[in-house]
């Protein structure tokens, strides 16, 4: 079975500082990994994905994530946080060998303080 953990319920960071939002996953086969952002009362917006290839993936709004197979992690990072990055972030996994379902983590609320 697939599962995703986001160990931090809340992450606080000062504007201009680097940010990291953590994600670990568990799948039986090969993972497809995703990050999404949700602003209040809005749908989820796709940020980036890892399918294959380079372990460092770059996405929208200056975000990037690193796939680490040995640690089964896919942490989201940004070198310099903006106040406008404050939102709810979701990590998701799809096990390519086991169907069409995407499993989402519980979400991490990021607050960037001015």
Q: Which of 44, 64, 73, 82 binds other proteins (CB under 8 A)?
A: 44
With CB under 8 A as the contact rule, which of the stretches 21-29, 42-50, 53-61, 70-78 interacts with other proteins?
A: 42-50
> Alpha-carbon distance 20 to 42, whole Å?
23
Binding of other proteins by 100 (CB under 8 A) = yes
Binding of other proteins by 35 (CB under 8 A) = no
Q: How far is the CB of 63 from other proteins (least distance, A)?
A: 15
> Alpha-carbon distance 106 to 91, whole Å?
8
Structure tokens at 45: 């917006």
> Alpha-carbon distance 22 to 31, whole Å?
16
With vertex at residue 62, the alpha carbon angle to CA 70 and CA 44, rounded to the nearest 5 degrees, is 80
With CB under 8 A as the contact rule, which of the stretches 20-28, 40-48, 58-66, 71-79 interacts with other proteins?
A: 40-48
Q: Which of 45, 84, 97, 111 binds other proteins (CB under 8 A)?
A: 45
Q: Cα-atom radius of gyration of the chain, to the nearest Å?
A: 14
> Alpha-carbon distance 83 to 87, whole Å?
9
Interface contacts to other proteins, rule CB under 8 A:
32, 34, 36, 41-46, 49, 51, 88, 90, 92, 94, 100-107
């Amino acid at each position: 079975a697939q599962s995703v953990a986001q160990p931090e319920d809340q992450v606080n960071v000062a504007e201009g500082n680097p940010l990291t939002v953590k994600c670990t996953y568990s799948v039986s086969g090969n993972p497809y990994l995703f990050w999404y952002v949700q602003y209040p009362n809005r749908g989820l917006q796709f940020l980036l994905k890892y399918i294959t290839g380079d372990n460092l993936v770059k996405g929208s709004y200056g975000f990037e994530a690193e796939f680490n197979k040995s640690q089964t992690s896919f942490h989201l990072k940004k070198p310099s946080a903006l106040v406008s990055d404050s939102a709810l972030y979701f990590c998701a996994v799809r096990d390519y060998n086991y169907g069409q379902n995407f499993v989402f983590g519980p979400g991490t609320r990021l607050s960037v303080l001015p």
